Structure 1
Amino acid sequence: MSTASEPTTTGSGIALVDRLRAELGHSAVITDTDVTDSYSRDMMPLAPYGTPLAVVMPTDTEGVQATVRACAAAGVPIVPRGAGSGLTGAANAIDGCVVLVLTKMNEIVEIDAANRLAVVQPGVVNLDFRDAVAKNGLFYPPDPSSYDWCTIGGNLATNAGGLCCVKYGVTTDAVLGLKVVLADGSLLKTGRRTVKGVAGYDLTKLFIGSEGTLGVITEATVSLKPLPQAPGTLVAAFNDTAAAGDAVARVVKEGLVPSLMEIMDKASIDAAETYLKTDIGAGSGCEALLLCQSDSGGEVARRELTAIEQICTDAGADMTYVTDDLAEGNMLLQARRVVLTALETYGTWLTDDVSVPRTRIAELISGCARIADEVGLRIAVVGHAGDGNMHPTIVYDPSSVDESERAHKAFDDILDVGLSLGGTITGEHGVGKIKQEWLAREIGPVGMRVHRSIKQALDPENLFNPESMFSMFPTPASQLERSAGS
């Protein structure tokens, strides 16, 4: 039954809502705009979003299948969504769509400690999953900065990374197999439970990072690691960004693989210290801070951190400090984790996501400083130095049209610098609705043709997330040239 706060819908829309409620239950289908508005967008302020017809919240795979079949029959697009922690608009609603929210599918189906694997539904929160497997002496490595509220399904859809990527890889490196609902409502099972397996195409990796454009992931089988030792921590302060970049390159060249290696520029350090009301020991002249951890344990960890400390000193660090005290290490790491929250005290933040060769991290940070001067806005840079994935974050006043335009320009200029350094437009956040033209620039016309061919084969009616990642229809070359030159 409609309420005064529900949107006006066409007869076909009403029929679809009625069918969904009949098949999934009334409470699983929400049309009250006071509620659906909160599911219409993610954390990216620049990305467009529309008004959904309904929000559907199934509790099992069969409910997802019923939703997909009903929407396909009605010709209504589906936008899959997790917790909404994304930063590209990939889960943003389009007008008249059904937002398929998977957070109620939050069961850890199985933890198989003997085979070091688990089976998990997409609505499980990353941190909850990590805590659950830790009780079995196991470890799930992917740890995005939003790990205390982002969900496994969203991590799969964007191939999320995190602070531990340097040693353990990103989400795709931990996934053995998937269950995926396809555009006709059928259920595809990919992958395996074994350590090795090469039967057929690697369809598992095809769906990871596909941003909900090819199917809806309803279950994942993931590999787990033995629970690592409590980490030791190193912090090194540099009065020169290039010296910090040199230290990172030397660590990689020497074959050292810490469990974490993060970098913060001066703007990030200042924001974190102000927010935490503490001095993290960087010093007033610090231009870059390197944070490293080793979870190898005992003497191995001490040797690893000692070697990294020597490299930092040789590269020109003005201060180094090593501790094996867990609480102290967590305090130092907290300064890295709170940067985005700290920047909110200055205004709205817009975070970018570019990866560059590790030898060119310093050039990217310098490029961001130049762009900040050009646009007259604060830009803070933090990132995963171990794999070159940087997160320049622009702070601006969204109520100012002028500042918003300058922030958008800075966002694009940073992507341009990243590509010019031999990098990529996204390391872990994805393309979504804000980097489509940049994706076309990076992978070229042949790459776009292959993407469209895969989309056409799996989703011929363009049912899933039709305005995310790329358009099914090529953008005219003249328009791309104008965009590139703007």
Structure 2
Amino acid sequence: MDLHELIDLLPDGTVITDADLLASYRQDHANDPDAGTPVAVVRANSTDDVATTLRWAHERHIGVIPRGAGSGLSGGATAVDGCLMLSTERMRAITVDPVTRTAIVQPGLMNAEVKRAVAEHGLWYPPDPSSFEICSIGGNAATNAGGLCCVKYGVTTDYILGAEVVLADGTVLRLGGPRLKDSAGLSLTKLFIGSEGTLGVFTELTLRLLPAQPPQSTVVAGFATLAGAVEAILAITGELRPSMLEFMDSVTINAVEDEMRMGLDRNAAALLIARSDAPGQFALREAELMVEACEKAGATEVFHTEDLEEGEAFTAARRFAIPAVERLGALLLEDVGVPLPRLGDLVTGIEAIAQRHEVTVSLIAHAGDGNTHPLIVHDPTDPAQTARAHEAFGEIMHLAIELGGTITGEHGVGRLKKPWLVDQLGPEVLAVSQRIKDALDPHGILNPGAVL
């Protein structure tokens, strides 16, 4: 492939062909073993760079894999042989408008950077994936990322008012804008959010902001059984909407305690971390209700604090769960979700699958909205164990679907979960999705092999 024309069309240093650098862009955090080798990486500096690259690739029918920070967990930014990797990591501008409570951001900024920038104006961007320090805002939009506060505040799509998107042929669309209400035309902005780079590439996002989050009250409870923890979750969500309600099982508790030495109860079967940011004394009342719910469900220990630093320490422990479990071995990561009444069936079903296949499964969850993260630990040098891990992975997918749930609550389908998508959506929905894909990307160059 002759890249000289593309190199000439773009600013100096935009196109990378060095083999060692290319290797670092082959995979996202899912570490897909089937990742191919790109012919080049384009590190775009502007919307014009993105449009030029896509126009060039469209004319030559060359696959393009859009990529943000590479923190994805489903293989959505996995290279295929002979493709271009299109990175937006250099696009990092942000403008905050306190009057309209909006921010216009480019996709290369980290989620945490957006939070810090808007906080300087007394504002808050709520979506908060556990990886918020290392995941890009463009990647969040591409996967419709969630996070710890979604139980009360919603996910990424709830905070995107508009976007600039570049289509496969280089056409630049400007959708929506800094308006809280807008019913003009089809809801195209929503179409692109969560499409995982298969329909277009985000080059700018208009985000809706909220006033700064009030101080939070924190409740931490340990349980001798998984059933008790699930009972407390359903009792809490039946009474109120906490600002956070997180779950860790015994494998996770011990992995986190190994690294952080916080004094977590290693004998607990499950740990709940719940928070309330209700105004004034209402936060204390909600915390009291959560304490009561945990005690009635048989909690072995319940801790309540109004101290912000103590509360943040437990939240940090939950955010560190995946990195801690990664120390145990290679992971197959899932993010299946179910309606809350079926959460108990999912938790016990995952436990049974782990026992049947003789694999270790660490279970963490955004418990308040039914979104779980089963982490299947395995030794990739042991073929038999790896095979059992993959069998467990598939069975957990099927279990979630049988329970009326989803194969992905926030990480995206990518390539790793694609085989199970038809079982959840059905062939008719997939066929309509493919027709939309074909209309916007007739040569199929955008993220080939992902999702559809």
Q: TM-score, normalised by structure 1?
A: 0.91
Does the CA-based 8 Å contact 1:242-1:363 persist in structure 2? Answer: no
Separation (CA, whole Å) in 2 of partners of 1:205 and 1:164: 21
* Pairing 1:325–2:311 present: no
Letter in 1 for 2:189: T
Separation (CA, whole Å) in 2 of partners of 1:337 and 1:146: 7
Does the CA-based 8 Å contact 2:27-2:70 persist in structure 1? Answer: yes
Separation (CA, whole Å) in 1 of partners of 2:34 and 2:108: 24
Unaligned runs of 5+ in 1: 1-12, 471-486
Q: Cα offset for 1:48? A: 2.5
Separation (CA, whole Å) in 2 of partners of 1:287 and 1:107: 45
Does the CA-based 8 Å contact 1:245-1:359 persist in structure 2? Answer: no
Higher mean C-alpha deviation, range 170-179 or range 37-46: 37-46
* Pairing 1:49–2:35 present: yes
Q: Cα offset for 1:362? A: 2.3
Look up the SS of the partner of 1:354 in the other structure. coil
Aligned CA distance change for structure 1 residues 160 and 118 (closer, same or farther; 3 Å): same
Separation (CA, whole Å) in 2 of partners of 1:65 and 1:457: 18
Separation (CA, whole Å) in 1 of partners of 2:56 and 2:90: 20
Q: Cα offset for 1:35? A: 0.3
Q: Cα offset for 1:283? A: 6.0
* Pairing 1:76–2:62 present: yes
Does the CA-based 8 Å contact 2:243-2:277 persist in structure 1? Answer: yes
List structure 1 runs of 4+ shifted beyond 4 angstroms: none
Corresponding position of 2:236: 251
Does the CA-based 8 Å contact 1:47-1:433 persist in structure 2? Answer: no
Question: Aligned ranges for residues 185-196 of structure 1 at < 5 Å?
Answer: 185-196=170-181
Question: Aligned ranges for residues 294-333 of structure 1 at < 5 Å?
Answer: 294-333=276-315
* Pairing 1:391–2:377 present: no
Counterpart of 1:409 (choices 342, 366, 391) is 391
Q: Cα offset for 1:296? A: 2.4
Corresponding position of 1:97: 83
* Pairing 1:234–2:216 present: no
Q: TM-score, normalised by structure 2?
A: 0.98
Separation (CA, whole Å) in 2 of partners of 1:170 and 1:47: 30
Look up the SS of the partner of 1:248 in the other structure. helix
Separation (CA, whole Å) in 1 of partners of 2:172 and 2:158: 23
Q: Cα offset for 1:270? A: 1.4
Look up the SS of the partner of 1:83 in the other structure. coil
Q: Cα offset for 1:297? A: 4.1
Letter in 2 for 1:55: V
Separation (CA, whole Å) in 1 of partners of 2:357 and 2:31: 18
1:10-42 alpha-carbon deviations (Å, 9 max, x no partner): xxx11xx11221111231100111001110111
Corresponding position of 2:141: 156
Look up the SS of the partner of 1:26 in the other structure. coil
Q: Cα offset for 1:360? A: 2.1
Look up the SS of the partner of 1:383 in the other structure. strand
Corresponding position of 1:119: 104
Letter in 2 for 1:311: A
Look up the SS of the partner of 2:228 in the other structure. helix
Corresponding position of 2:256: 272
Corresponding position of 2:120: 135
Letter in 1 for 2:321: V
Separation (CA, whole Å) in 2 of partners of 1:368 and 1:273: 23
Q: Cα offset for 1:54? A: 0.5
Counterpart of 1:367 (choices 324, 343, 349) is 349
Letter in 2 for 1:107: A
Look up the SS of the partner of 2:219 in the other structure. strand
Look up the SS of the partner of 1:386 in the other structure. helix
Separation (CA, whole Å) in 2 of partners of 1:46 and 1:183: 25
Letter in 2 for 1:26: D
Look up the SS of the partner of 2:354 in the other structure. helix
Look up the SS of the partner of 1:67 in the other structure. helix
Letter in 2 for 1:243: G
1:356-399 alpha-carbon deviations (Å, 9 max, x no partner): 11122222222222122122221110010111000000111112
Counterpart of 1:337 (choices 314, 319, 325) is 319
